[in-house]
Amino acid sequence: MGTLSLSDVIIETHLQYEDVRIWAPWGHISGRWYGNRTERPILAIHGWLDNLGTFDTLIPLLPDYLGVLCIDLPGHGCSSRLPPGMHYSMHDYVFIIARVMKAYKWQKVSLLGHSLGGVLGFLFTALAPHTVDMIISLDICLPILESPRMLSGWAPYLEKHLVEEERAEQSEMHEPPSYTLPQLRSLMAKGSFESVPKEFAHHLLYRSVAKSQLYPEKYYFSRDGRVKYYVIFPLNRSQGSELARRVKKPFLIIKASNSPYVSPNSDEAIAILRKENPHFEMHEVAGSHHAHLTNATEVAKYLVPFIRHHRPPPVSSWSLAGEEANISKKEKRKAQERFFSWNLKRRSKL
């Protein structure tokens, strides 16, 4: 999967990072590890059709003693696509968390997820609570709950998925439709219902498009078209409530004020979390579904205290250099005072 290399879309950051690849049977999971590499990081997972660039503006505001490992889900960003004939599924995506943990030999994981990434974190925490020490969900709580309207809306996905497979086969002979950068920004804004404004679109585009070989000034979307029609079977309300009861770990939800994704369908689960999880917090910030990207400073006001409380700096990182220096100065001063006192007594005896 290609990435942009033009100066006007390269993301400048003062943070150090390392691009990583995590092995998978079908290829690799692409990631970017920001900051500290000596401590277990926060694992950050993006939303549907996005990529790890969604966290570009938020990461610089997080505590610097912890690293953040952002990944592209399979079929997104720079990660490998699933083989032909396979489909993408929300339930299968949950296993990506376990795969990353296994690759780095983590016994515990700290999760930060937006939208689909938040749902994956919620499901993983409910299923394997002993492996999670902290979970943060950005503008999401539950997976979608079942309803006749939702089911009828997903029925066409079956055929559209097959159409995308045919397009993928043809792409080896015919390049996908290409666009100029201004057109790409407009498409990104329109596709997100203006949740990602044009001025923020480059944060997602630089890992989602490749340069056209036919038109030098144009680019095409390089993500797997099948991810648009990934399989998601909705939960019923009793399942959603039971999942919420199983989440006892520190859990923070940040809701965007102009977003419908933390809906009344989540009220029962949130009520359970408030009642049964003493470490549950929920806050609201101004903005749309991508508020963590467009209003990162406000989101960080809640994230930073939560992270510092539940994943404080390790004791080994606390510096006593200043105290040791003060102690040394005091001891030196006392030694000097003892010497002067002894010297005065000695002189008086002469």
Residue 87 structure tokens: 């489909």
Q: Which of 240, 222, 101, 120 is nearest to 171 (CA)?
A: 222
> Catalytic site residue 222?
no
| Active-site entry in 30, 79, 115, 195 | 115
Residues 6 or more apart whose CB falls under 8 angstroms from that of 8 comprise 181, 202
Residues 6 or more apart whose CB falls under 8 angstroms from that of 270 comprise 141, 244, 253, 262, 282
Residues 6 or more apart whose CB falls under 8 angstroms from that of 132 comprise 108, 109, 110, 111, 121, 124, 125, 249
DSSP state of 248: -
DSSP state of 230: -
Dihedral angle of Cα 262, 263, 269, 275, to the nearest 10 degrees: 80
Provide the annotated active-site residues.
115
